[in-house]
Amino acid sequence: MSRIGKLPIAIPDGVNISVNDNNMVTVKGKKTELYQKVYEGIEVAVEDGQIVLNRKDDQKKTRAMHGLYRSLINNMVTGVSTGYKKQLEFVGVGYRASNKGQILEMSVGYSHPIYFAIPKEVSISCETVKGKNPIVTLESADKQLLGHIAAKIRSFRKPEPYKGKGIKFVGEELRRKAGKTAG
């Protein structure tokens, strides 16, 4: 049996879980409401303030999906109760970031600024302090969407291994390479 899949998910106060007939799980909390369609071989039950996932059969695909859907539902419960946060740091001379509503404007060494539309489910804030690198903070209840948006922003200028210039996550350790040696 899946080690992750058999663990029950505790439901915190203020979070409501409902499962309808076609295996659609709805999680409502103080922040928002999230939905997830669960694989038909997995049975979701709410018992004694906990969510329990059981397999209907022992096929390979069902075993593979057991832990996955437990993790997805756990992320939904955590998201609607506390939320998720990612911070991106813009490292480089002249690298800037600012937002106007849900539009992120980035200047990361290209000949033109990059404008990136952020979905309404993700809140954005930019912090620029003189002498420090600009930091963009993304917050959302949906962990999948938040990670996707953060990865997309990072892809505009990935950190390079020699000087470390680029867009990186706060706290990310970069593998640095030695440059040319003088002859």
* 0.85 exceeded by pTM: yes
If you average pLDDT over residues 67-91, what whole number do you get? 95
Closest listed residue to residue 32, CA positions, set 80, 94, 64, 103: 80
Cβ-based neighbours of 89, under 8 Å, separated by 6 or more: 133, 134, 135, 167, 168, 169, 170
If you average pLDDT over residues 91-111, what whole number do you get? 94
From 21-25, 147-151, 153-157, the region with the lowest mean pLDDT: 21-25
Asked whether the beta carbons of 84 and 34 are under 8 A apart, the reply is: no
Is a pLDDT exceeding 70 seen at residue 136?
yes
Buried b (16+ CB within 10 A) or exposed e, 94-124: ebebebeeeebebbbeeeeeeebebeeebeb
Give the chain's domains with CATH numbers: 9-81 (3.90.930.12), 84-169 (3.90.930.12)
Q: What is the pLDDT of residue 1?
A: 53
